[in-house]
């Protein structure tokens, strides 16, 4: 197999992505090296992406870790390594959804978590806290959630989202619109 994968070909994500912090990798099929570069570049963003999808940072770390482990296992079966970023994102979406489904039953019988009290600074600035945002995003239906985060945090175009989630562009537009409207009501009231 003669595969070429260039880490630099996938741009860093906004909101904390570390541009070129990792060693760039060119023309390699070595799984270890490739995974190490992919992990260095994408791990933080995949945890954040999963946190938006699951609403919980600890779960998000599990989801991201498992997604990388699956990519690691599947490395030799992936024909187009240039699409590995999309593969990773869709794995995170699927794992986040699976985890929530299992978690849902358990959480119905678990006492509600204590809501964190906003800091004085947050109150003073009238800002919405991290947990509020995560909770509001995580409360959206899966596709709305994924579409909104990909659109507004990852800055992906509607067609890129459609390609990634295997939806039509029209569906993506609808999901983004509905998700945004819900968030406007949720977060707008708290601001």
Partner 1 sequence: MNDFDTQLTALLDDTAAQIDPRPNFDAVRSNTMTFRPDRRGGRRFPRSLGVAAATIALLGGGVAAFDARGGGRQTVSTSSDPTGTVTVETTPKTTVADEEPVVDKAPMPVADPVETDKVHDDGPGDDAAVDFPRSAHLGASELTEGTMVQKLLGQAAPGETIKAHSEFGSIYTVADSDGKWKLVLRLTDVPVGTVVPVRVTFSRSPSVFEFEIERHEPKVEEDPEPVVTTPKPAPEPVVEPKPQPQPKPPVEPTPVAFTVDLGWSYNDDVYMKQGFHGSAPVGSAVSVNSEWGAVHATADAKGNWETLLKLTDVPDGTVVHVWVVSSASDHVVEYDLVRDRPDPEPEPEPEAKPFKVELGAFYDGDAYMKQGFHGTGTPGSTVRASSDFGAAETVIGPKGHWELLLKMYDVPGGSSVGVLVTNSASDAAHDFTVVRPESEPEPIEFTANAALTESDADPMVNEYWGTAPAGAVITISSAYGDGQVTANGDGVWDARIEFASVPVGETFTVKVKSSKSGTFHSFSFTRVDASS
CB 39, min distance to partner 1, A: 5
Candidate list 64, 92, 138, 146; residue touching partner 1; CB under 8 A: 64
Determine, following the binding rule CB under 8 A, whether residue 135 of this chain makes contact with partner 1.
no
Q: Do residues 143 and 178 touch, judged by C-beta distance below 8 A?
A: no
Tell me the window of 2-10, 43-51, 82-90, 138-146 that interacts with partner 1 (CB under 8 A).
43-51
Residue 95 and residue 69: Cα distance in Å, rounded?
A: 12
Residue 172 and residue 42: Cα distance in Å, rounded?
A: 24
Tell me the window of 2-10, 84-92, 117-125, 164-172 that interacts with partner 1 (CB under 8 A).
164-172
Tell me, by CB under 8 A, how many residues bind partner 1.
58
Determine, following the binding rule CB under 8 A, whether residue 133 of this chain makes contact with partner 1.
yes
Measured from the Cβ of residue 164, the count of other Cβ atoms closer than 10 Å reads: 21
Task: Please name the residues in contact with 139: beta carbons below 8 A apart, sequence gap of 6 or more.
Answer: 55, 182, 186
Q: Which helix (H) or strand (E) holds 45?
A: helix 31-54
Determine, following the binding rule CB under 8 A, whether residue 153 of this chain makes contact with partner 1.
yes
> Helices in 139-168 by DSSP H: which ranges?
142-148, 158-165
User: And the tokens for 30?
Assistant: 């070595």
Contact positions with partner 1 (CB under 8 A) in 86-115:
99, 102, 105-106, 108-110, 113
CB 54, min distance to partner 1, A: 12
CB 85, min distance to partner 1, A: 16
Shorter beta-carbon distance to partner 1: residue 25 or 44: 44
């Amino acid at each position: 197999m003669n595969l070429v994968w260039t880490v630099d070909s996938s741009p860093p994500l906004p909101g904390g992505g570390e541009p070129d912090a990792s060693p760039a990798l060119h023309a390699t099929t070595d799984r270890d090296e490739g995974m190490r570069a992919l992990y260095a570049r994408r791990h933080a963003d995949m945890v954040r992406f999963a946190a938006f999808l699951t609403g919980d940072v600890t779960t998000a770390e599990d989801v991201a870790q498992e997604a990388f482990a699956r990519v690691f296992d599947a490395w030799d079966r992936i024909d187009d390594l240039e699409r590995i970023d999309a593969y990773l994102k869709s794995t995170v979406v699927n794992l986040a959804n699976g985890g929530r489904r299992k978690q849902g039953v358990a959480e119905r019988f678990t006492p509600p978590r204590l809501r964190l009290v906003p800091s004085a600074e947050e109150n003073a600035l009238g800002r919405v806290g991290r947990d509020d945002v995560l909770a509001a995003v995580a409360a959206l239906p899966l596709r709305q959630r994924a579409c909104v985060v990909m659109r507004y945090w990852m800055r992906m175009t509607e067609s890129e989202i459609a390609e990634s989630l295997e939806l039509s562009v029209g569906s993506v537009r609808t999901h983004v619109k509905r998700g945004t409207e819900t968030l406007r009501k949720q977060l707008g009231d708290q601001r």
